[in-house]
Amino acid sequence: MLHLASRSPRRAELLARLGLAFGILDLDLPEHQGSGEAAHDYVRRVAREKAGAGLLEVVAVPGSVVLGADTEVILDGRVFGKPDDADAAATMLRRLSGRSHEVLTAVAVVTAGREARAEALTRVTVEPLTEDAIARYLASGEWQGKAGAYAIQGCFEAHIERLDGSYSGVMGLPLRETAMLLRQFEVLP
């Protein structure tokens, strides 16, 4: 059975688009970038750790396959995680304003005897944002719990000038790459 090691409703929604039945493992893992750890390495590590922690929860269940993923916004080599409050969100949005940044989603799939990984790197360009636009977006509340302080699938999409890569990856789970991994594990035909 497939298990999603994630609390993200967006990831569950995206995985459901593949037409699969799956269980959800509600894990609470610390996500802290190590000192000197490169942004891309951090995202890959967190995805692996989520999958591994999920596997520990279901390892006694024969045939368990666990999918873990992590998505982060990266600008100038710096990870823009989930902001703690509206002030932090505003600071992030000001830094993203009028610039291009990366969104990296790493996916790890594990079983008791096997592991495989994939990732999607997407380049996103945000139009220049006025202070009024930032204030309106903050008032929407969509920024809460979102890497980089925005949800591309919400009203912030109106501020995206360009997207080169995986839209579903920016949402939190790149479907093409995920489907490829799940085929390797014979979860998808």
CA 74, 76, 80, 85 dihedral sign is negative
Q: H or E stretch including 160? A: strand 160-164
Q: Which amino acid, 106? A: A
Q: Tell me how far CA of residue 134 lies from CA of 6, 10, 159, in angstroms.
A: 29, 23, 10
- Is 70 an annotated catalytic residue? yes
In sequence order, what are the residues at sequence separation of 6 or more whose Cβ sits closer than 8 angstroms to the Cβ of residue 75? 95, 96, 99, 101, 102
Active-site position among 70, 84, 85, 132: 70
DSSP designation for 81: -
Phi, psi of 158 (to 5 degrees): -65, -15
Catalytic residues: 70
